[in-house]
Amino acid sequence: MTDTPTRPGLKPARPFFSSGPCAKPPGWDPARLATASLGRSHRSKLGKQRLKYCIDLMRETLGLPDTHRIGIVPGSDTGAYEMAMWTMLGQRPVTALAWESFGEGWVTDAVKQLKLDPHVVRAEYGQLPDLQAVDWSHDVLFTWNGTTSGARVPNGDWIAPDRQGLSFADATSAVFAYDLPWDRIDVATFSWQKVLGGEGAHGVLILGPRAVERLESYTPPWPLPKVFRLVAKGKLAEGLFAGETINTPSMLAVEDAIWSLEWARSLGPRGLIARSDANAAALDRIVEERAWLGHLAPDPATRSRTSVCLTVEGADEALIKRMAALLEAEHAAYDVAGYRDAPPGLRIWCGATVDTADVEALGPWLDWAYATAKAA
Ligand X SMILES: Cc1ncc(COP(=O)(O)O)c(C=O)c1O
Give the footprint of ligand X on this chain (CB under 6 A). 20, 76-78, 102, 143, 147, 170, 172-173, 191, 193, 200
| Comparison of 143 and 167: residue with beta carbon closer to ligand X | 143
- Residue 61's φ and ψ, nearest 5 degrees, are -65, -35
Give the closest residue to 125 by CA, choosing from 294, 296, 345: 296
CB of 166 to ligand X, least distance (A): 18
CB of 203 to ligand X, least distance (A): 7
CB of 227 to ligand X, least distance (A): 14
Alpha-helix runs per DSSP H in 89-208: 101-108
CB of 200 to ligand X, least distance (A): 5
One-letter amino acid for residue 368 of the chain: W
Residue 200 Cα distances to 27, 69, 134, 190, 322, angstroms = 20, 21, 32, 10, 28
| Comparison of 61 and 143: residue with beta carbon closer to ligand X | 143
| Comparison of 150 and 364: residue with beta carbon closer to ligand X | 150
CB of 204 to ligand X, least distance (A): 10
CA dihedral angle for residue 287, residue 289, residue 294, residue 300, rounded to 10 degrees: 60
Instruction: Measure the CA–CA gap between 313 and 41, rounded to whole angstroms.
Output: 54
- Residue 323's φ and ψ, nearest 5 degrees, are -60, -50
| Comparison of 21 and 363: residue with beta carbon closer to ligand X | 21
| Comparison of 174 and 251: residue with beta carbon closer to ligand X | 174
| Comparison of 173 and 245: residue with beta carbon closer to ligand X | 173
Instruction: Measure the CA–CA gap between 341 and 64, rounded to whole angstroms.
Output: 33
DSSP 113: I
CB of 102 to ligand X, least distance (A): 4
Cβ–Cβ < 8 Å for 153, 178: no
CB of 44 to ligand X, least distance (A): 27
Instruction: Measure the CA–CA gap between 275 and 177, rounded to whole angstroms.
Output: 8
Residues 6+ apart with CB under 8 A from 153: 128, 131, 142, 144, 145, 302
| Comparison of 121 and 212: residue with beta carbon closer to ligand X | 121
H-run or E-run covering 222: none
| Comparison of 153 and 251: residue with beta carbon closer to ligand X | 153
CB of 122 to ligand X, least distance (A): 15
Give the closest residue to 174 by CA, choosing from 71, 253, 81: 81
Instruction: Measure the CA–CA gap between 289 and 40, rounded to whole angstroms.
Output: 54
CB of 313 to ligand X, least distance (A): 26
One-letter amino acid for residue 289 of the chain: E
Give the closest residue to 187 by CA, choosing from 199, 203, 201, 176: 203
| Comparison of 78 and 245: residue with beta carbon closer to ligand X | 78
